Structure 1
Amino acid sequence: MNRMTAYRIGLVLFLALLGLFALPAGPASAHAALVRTSPVQGTVTQDAPNEIVITFTERVTPVRDKIHVTGPDGKQIGQGTITMSNADLHIPVRTNVPRGTFLVSYRVISADNHPVGAGFTYSVGAPSATGPNPGDASSGRTDRAVAIGVSTARFISFAGLILVAGPVLVLTALWPRRLSRRAPTRLAYAGLGLIGLSAALDLVLQAPYQNGGSLASISAGGVSTILAGTYGRVQLARLVAAVLAGVLLPPFLAGRSGKPMQVLLALVGVVGVATWPLSGHAPDSNAPVLTVIADAAHVTSVAVWLGGLVMLVGFLLRRADDKELDAILPVWSNWDALAVTVLVLAGTAQGLIEVVTLKALLTTTYGTLLLWKIGLLGAVLAVAAVSRQLVRRKAQGVPRLKRTVLAEVIGAVLILGLASALVQTAPARTAAADAPAPATDRGIFSTTLNSKLYQLQLDIERTTGSNYEVHLYAYTPVGAPLTVQQWKVTAALPAKGIEPIDVPTLRINDSHASASATLPSPGIWQFNFTLRISDFDEATVSTAFTAT
C-alpha cells in the first residue's frame, strides 16, 4: 500500500465515521427527569382536578403548543395559561369533564437545551373501557432530519476546533522554516469555517429541534427566539469568535503580529473554547464551575492532541526531513503526553460529576457510551505509548511511527464520535433519576421480562376494586429506549376457565404504553405482552400476576 492510498483510506474512514455519528440512534434522550405528577400517573380520582402538576429534576421551559390534556371523548380540556414554578409545570384544566381516562402529553426544554417529551394517564371516577385519542401524544418525537442536522453540527464543531488547534500550535512552535505554510494555514481556515458553519447550523435548527418541528418549520422568528436564550447567545459568541479569529490569524501565523494582537487572539480563543462546555451539560451539573473548567480542559486537550496528530500525519511525517523530525518528534511527544494526561484527569472529573453512582454507570445509555469511550481511550493510549517509544528509539525509523500515528488518529476519531454522542445523551445522573422506581417503593407489582428483541419493564397497580393500571416500558436488550410499532396485551385466568381477554392499550410515547385491565376474579392471572417493533419482528413475553 503506497502513501497516497493510505491517506485516501484514512479520509474515507473519517467521512464514514462522520456519517455514522451524525445518525441518531433514536429519539433524543431527556435531560430533565420526571420526578412526580399530580394526579399520580395511573391513579383514579373521584373529583376532577383543576390543574395538572408535573415536577422535574430541574426548571424547564414549556413548549406550550405541545402540551395537551385529552379527555376520554378525545377533546382537549386545557384552559388558561401554562406556568412554571421552580421545577413544577402547572397545566390548568376544566373540571366539568366526563368520567374516564385522560391523557397528559407534554414537551419541555431542559436546562441544557434538550427537548423532553412524554405523557401519562389518570382517570376520573373510573378508567375508560378504551383510552382517549392520543392526538398529539407524540410530543416527545424529534424530526429525524432535524436530529441528523443537530448531530452533524455538533460533530463538525469538534472537528473544526481540532483543525484550528493543530495548525496554530505546530506553525507557531514546530514548523520547519524551509517548508511552505500555505497548506496548514488553509487547514486552519477550514477549521474556522467548520466552527462558524456548525454554530450557524445549530442556531437555525434549534427551534425545530426544541419544538418537534420539521425542516420546513425553520423561520427567522424561530432563530430570533433561540438567540434570545442562553444557548443562542453562546452559539452566537462562538460564531463571532470564529469570525474574529479569521481576522486575527493571518498575521499571527505569518509571524507579523505584535503582543496586543496575540493577547487579543488568546482571549478570543479562550472565549471560543468556553462555548463548548457552556452549550452542553456542564452548567447544569451539581458543581457547575468545576464542570465547566473540567469540560473546557477536556475539549482543549482533545483539540491539542488530535490537532497535533493531524499535522503530524498530514504534513510533518510527509514533508520534514530526518534531521527536522529528530528535533520535532520529541517536542510533539511531550505535547502528546501532556494533552493525554489533562484529557484523562478532566474526563475523570467529568465522569464523577455526571455519573455519580456505579449503578448509573452500568444501567444508563450515558454510562454505556462512557464505558466505550474509556475502552477506546485505553486502546489509543496504548498505541500512543508505542509512538512515544518509537520517538525515543530513533533507529526504528519513521515508517512504523507513521502507522502507529495513523492508528492513533483513527481511534481518536472514534472517541470524537462518542464524545459528540455523549453531548446528545442524558447524563447518567438524570437518566438514573428518570428510571421507574422499584415496586417496593411504589406499592405495585413490577418486573422485567426479556426476549431476544427487547426488555419489557412492567408495572401493575390496582386502581379501584378489580381495575388495574398496567404500564409498559420497552427497551433494547442493552437498555436503550425502544420504539414499538404495536402493543398487544391479553389476560387469562386458566384456573377458572377464563380465556385470554384483550386488554385495551394506549400508546404514551414510542417506548411507553399503558393499559387498563379489569380482573373480575381473584387468582393467578396470565398476562401475555406482544410487541411488534418492525414489519417483520415481534415477540411475546408472559408473566403471572396474582389478583386478590
Structure 2
Amino acid sequence: MNLSRRRYELPHVTRVLAFLFVLLTAVLVLPASPASAHAATVGSTPAPGSVIGTAPSEVTVTFSEPVTPVEGRVQVIAPDGERISGKVQGGGTVLRIPVRKAGKPLGTYLISFRVISADSHPVGGAITFSVGAPSARPEEPAATTGPHASVAVAVPLLKSIGYAGVTLIVGPALFLAFLWPPRRSRAGALRTIRIGLALTAAATLGALGTQAQQGSGAPIWTLTGAEFTEVLASQYGLLLLGRLLVLGALAVLLPPLLRRPRRTVTVSQTVPTPVLVGAGAPAPEPTPAAKPKPQVKPRKAQSWAVLGLGAAGLATWPMTGHAIAVPLPAVTITAGVVHMAAMAAWLGGLVTLSVFLLRGTHERMLAVVLPVWSRWAMLAVIWLVMAGAVQAIIQLGSVPALWRTDYGRLLLVKIGILAVVLAAAAGARRMVNRARNGSGLRRTVGVEVVASVLILALSSVLVQVDPGRSAAANEKSISGQGVSETLTSDLYTVQFNVYPVELGEYNTVHAFLYRPDGAPLQAEEWQLSARLTDPALESVKQPIAGILPGNQALGSLEFPLAGTYELVFTIRVSEIDRASVKTTVTVGR
C-alpha cells in the first residue's frame, strides 16, 4: 500500500468544532440538575447553629452524596475542648456519631469531620451547636481545614507525571506499530515506552501513598502501614492496583510486539527460459522468479490483548475522579477514556516526531509518513474535542459556571491554550501539504509540544477542583452560621438562635427561657415581632409558640428585604407579669 497516495474522507474540522460549540452552548443553557461531584454538607442533627436544652446522645451529618469517613477524623468536641465522640456508625450519605455526656455540658459544641467523597476527593468541615447557652467556639482540629502543604503539592505533580507517562507509551507505540520508517532504529522509541511505563507506575504508587494523607490532612512522611493497607482495600486502591497490573502486563507484551517484525519469505521457484534450438547452443541457466515481498507474521492475539489492556488501564483515571460521581457515570467514564486516549496519541505522536523522526529521516520517507500522521492527528483532535465537550457539558452544568467557578475559569484557560495548539497544528499541516519538512516544521511541532504540556499541567489541577456543577450543592451546604444571643430582663433570661439569617421566610428561631437564678421557666405566652429599621417599616408579628419541655419555644422569621431588623421578644410568665427584650440582626449585607 502506498501511504502517500491513500486518501481519508474526513469531516471539515471547522464544521465539526462549530457543531460542538452549538451543542455545548445549547446544553449549558438548560436548567442544571443537582450536583453530585464533591460531597457537600446539607444537614445535621442538631441543626447547625442551633441551641438545644440538653446534650444529645448522638449527632448526625448529612451529605449530598455517599461518603466514607476518615478513621479518627470525625469527632465531636465539647465546650471545654474534650473529645466526647465514639466510633462513627452508618454509611451512605449520613454519618451517625454517638457522643457521651461532657464534663461541662453547657456551651457550644463542635462537630469536626473529614470524609472521602464518591469521586475519591477529601472533604472537611465543621458544624457548631449549643446546649443551654452559646459559648466560645471550641478550637477546630487543623486536619479538617485542608490537606497538608506537602500533599497539596504532591497530588497535582503526581497526576502530571502519570499523564506524561501515558503519552510516552501511546505515541511511540502508535508510530512503531504503523508508521515507523524501515531503516530507522527502534531502540530509542522502545526505551521511551519503558520510561512511560515506569513514570505511570511511579505516579500510581504515589497516588496510593498520598490518598490516606489527603483524607487525614497529615504530611506525606507520616504515612503508616495501617493507613496504606486501608487505602489498598478501598475501591480507589483496588482500581489503582488494577492499573499497576495492566502496566506490568503491557511491559511484557509491548516490546516484543513493537520490535522489528519477524518476516517469513517463501522459497522462490525458478522459471525456465526458452531453449534455443541450434547446434552447439549452450543450455541456459534457469532464471529466478521475481523475489516475493516479505510477509509479516500475524500477531493478532497479542495486539487485541494490548488494546484491551490499554482501554482498561485508561478507564481507571475517570473511575477515580469526577466522572464516577455524576448522574451519567457511564457516559463520562467513556468520554474520559476517549479524551485521554486521543490526547496521548496526539501529544505522544508529536513527541515521537520531534525527538526521533524529523531529524535524520530521509525526506522521501517523511513525505510518506507525515501526510498520514497529519490525518491521524486531525482525527485525534476531533475525538479530543468531542470527548472534552461531553465532559464539560456534564461537569459545568450551566453557562455562568464558566466564569463563576474555579473549574470553569481553569477550563477557559485550557481551551485558550488548546486554540494555540490547534493553530500551530494547522500551520504544520499546511507545511506538510506543501512538502516543507525543514526547520520551520520542527519549530511548529515544538510549539505544539510545549503548549500541550501546559494543557497536561492544567488538567492535573483541573481534576482536583470542584466541578462547576458542584457549585449549586456547595451554595446550599450548611455553614453553621446563624445568630445566637442571650437577652435579660428583671423577670427572665431568654436565649435564642436564628438560622440561617437570610432573605426570605425560611428562618427558624429556637428560644429557651430561664429564671434570673438560671432555673428553667415555663412561659404562659410567647410573642415575637420583627421591624426593619433602615428604611423604617412597621413591626410585623412573627409566629412563635411554646413546645415541650415547657421552657422552649419554636417559630419562624421572615426577612423580606436586606437590612437591619429589630427583634422584640414579649414573654408573659404569669397572669400579670410580662416583659419585653429586644436586639437587632443584619440580613443580606
SS in 2 for 1:154: helix
Q: Distance in 1 between matches of 2:80 and 2:498?
A: 19
Letter in 1 for 2:52: T
1:372 aligns with 2:413: yes
Shift of residue 376, structure 1, vs aligned partner: 1.4
TM superposition shift of 1:464: 6.1
Matched residue, 1:167: 172
Equivalent residue for 1:12?
none
SS in 2 for 1:319: coil
Higher-helix-fraction structure: 1
Q: Does 1:315 align with 2:356?
A: yes
SS in 2 for 1:119: strand
User: What residue is the counterpart of 1:88 in the other structure?
Assistant: 94
Name the residue aligned to 1:400. 440
Aligned to 2:315: 274
Alpha-carbon distance in 1 for matches of 2:468, 2:461: 13
How far residue 137 of structure 1 moved from its aligned partner, in angstroms, is 4.9
Question: 1: CA distance between counterparts of 2:452 and 2:325?
Answer: 27
Return 5+ residue gaps in structure 2 as ranges.
1-36, 263-297, 488-494, 502-532, 534-562, 566-584
What is residue 510 of structure 2 aligned with on the other side?
none
TM-fit CA distance, 1:258: 2.1
**1:358 is paired with a residue of what secondary structure?**
coil
> 1:50: how far off?
2.6
Checking the alignment, whether the CA contact within 8 Å between 2:374 and 2:429 is kept in structure 1 is yes
Alpha-carbon distance between aligned partners in 2 of 1:334 and 1:360, rounded to the nearest angstrom: 35
In structure 1, distance between residues paired with 2:177 and 2:41: 50
- 1:65 lines up with 2:72 in the alignment: yes
Residue 229 (structure 1) aligns with: 234
Q: Secondary structure at the match of 1:340?
A: helix
What is the letter of the counterpart of residue 306 of structure 2? L
User: Aligned ranges for residues 484-523 of structure 1 at < 5 Å?
Assistant: none
The worse-fitting range, judged by mean Cα deviation, of 67-76 and 143-152 is 143-152
Structure 1 gaps, min length 5:
1-29, 443-456, 473-492, 494-522, 526-543
Please name the residue that 1:539 is paired with: none
Out of 301, 309, 318, the position equivalent to 2:342 is: 301
Q: 2:165 aligned with 1:124, yes or no?
A: no
Matched, 1:417 2:464: no
Task: Please state how far the C-alpha of 1:361 moved relative to its aligned partner.
Answer: 2.9
TM-superposed deviation, 1:105: 0.9
Q: Show CA shifts across 1:157-205 (max 9, x none).
A: 1100000111100111111111111111101110011111111222222
Cα deviation code 1:507-544 (max 9, x no counterpart): xxxxxxxxxxxxxxxx969xxxxxxxxxxxxxxxxxx9
Normalising by structure 1, we get a TM-score of 0.73
Q: CA deviation at 1:357?
A: 1.5
Q: Where does residue 133 of structure 1 map in the other structure?
A: 139
> Which protein is bigger by CA-based radius of gyration?
2
Q: Distance in 1 between matches of 2:179 and 2:196?
A: 19
Q: 1:330 to 1:106 in 2, by over 3 A?
A: same
Q: CA deviation at 1:61?
A: 0.6
For 1:326-341, list aligned pairs within 5 A.
326-341=367-382
2:208 aligned with 1:203, yes or no?
yes
Deviations 1:437-477 (A, max 9, x none): 7xxxx9xxxxxxxxxxxxxx9966466659778999xxxxx
Are 1:429 and 2:469 matched, yes or no?
yes
**240, 248, 264: which one pairs with 1:243?**
248
Counterpart in 1 of 2:555? none
Paired residues, what number?
429
**Paired residue for 2:327?**
286
- 1:95 shift after superposition: 4.9
1:213 CA displacement:
2.4
Give the structure 2 partner of residue 483 of structure 1.
Answer: none
Paired residue type of 1:288:
P
Q: Comparing 285-294 with 359-368, which one deviates more in the overlay?
A: 359-368
Alignment-derived partner of residue 569 in structure 2: none
Alignment partner of 1:344 is 2:350: no
Contact kept? 1:118, 1:137, Cα under 8 Å: no
In the TM superposition, what is the alpha-carbon distance from 1:397 to its structure 2 partner? 4.4
Shift of 1:368: 1.5
Q: Give the match for residue 18 of structure 1.
A: none
Residue type of the alignment partner of 2:118:
A
The CA deviation at 1:106 is 0.7
Q: CA deviation at 1:91?
A: 1.3
Distance in 2 of aligned mates of 1:460 and 1:317: 66
Larger displacement relative to structure 2 (50-59 or 162-171): 50-59
Q: Deviations over 1:224-258 (max 9, x none)?
A: 21111111111111111111111111211112472
- Partner deviation per Cα, 1:7-62 (whole Å, 9 max, x = no partner): xxxxxxxxxxxxxxxxxxxxxxx921111222222222233333221111111011
356 and 190 in structure 1: CA distance in 2 versus 1, 3 angstrom threshold: same
Letter in 2 for 1:405: V
The equivalent of 1:25 in structure 2 is: none
| Alpha-carbon separation, structure 1, partners of 2:132 and 2:480 | 24
Any conservation in 1 of the 2:114–2:144 contact (CA below 8 Å)? yes
Query: CA separation in 2, counterparts of 1:461 and 1:132?
Result: 17
- Percent identity, aligned pairs only, is 41
Residues in 1 aligned to 2:123 and 2:337: alpha-carbon distance in whole angstroms: 26
Matched residues in 1 for 2:463 and 2:93: separation? Answer: 23
8 A Cα contact 2:318 2:337, kept in partner:
yes
Q: Does 1:155 align with 2:157?
A: no
Kindly indicate whether residue 189 of structure 2 is the aligned counterpart of residue 184 of structure 1. Answer: yes
Q: CA RMSD in A?
A: 2.7
Q: How does 1:380-399 map to 2 (within 5 A)?
A: 380-394=421-435, 396-399=436-439
Return closer, same or farther for 1:374/1:280 CA change in 2, 3 Å cut-off.
same
Deviations 1:345-379 (A, max 9, x none): 10010011111122333222212211211121122
How many Å separate the matches in 1 of 2:238 and 2:75? 30
Aligned-pair CA distance for 1:295: 0.4
Q: Work out the CA distance in 1 between the residues paired with 2:388 and 2:587.
A: 48
Task: Report the AA paired with residue 96 of structure 2.
Answer: H
Q: Does 1:31 align with 2:72?
A: no
2:118 is the counterpart of 1:77 = no
C-alpha deviations, 1:129-169, integer Å up to 9, x for none?
x22233x2542331222332222221111100000111100
Q: CA 1:247/1:524 → structure 2, altered by over 3 Å: closer, same or farther? A: closer
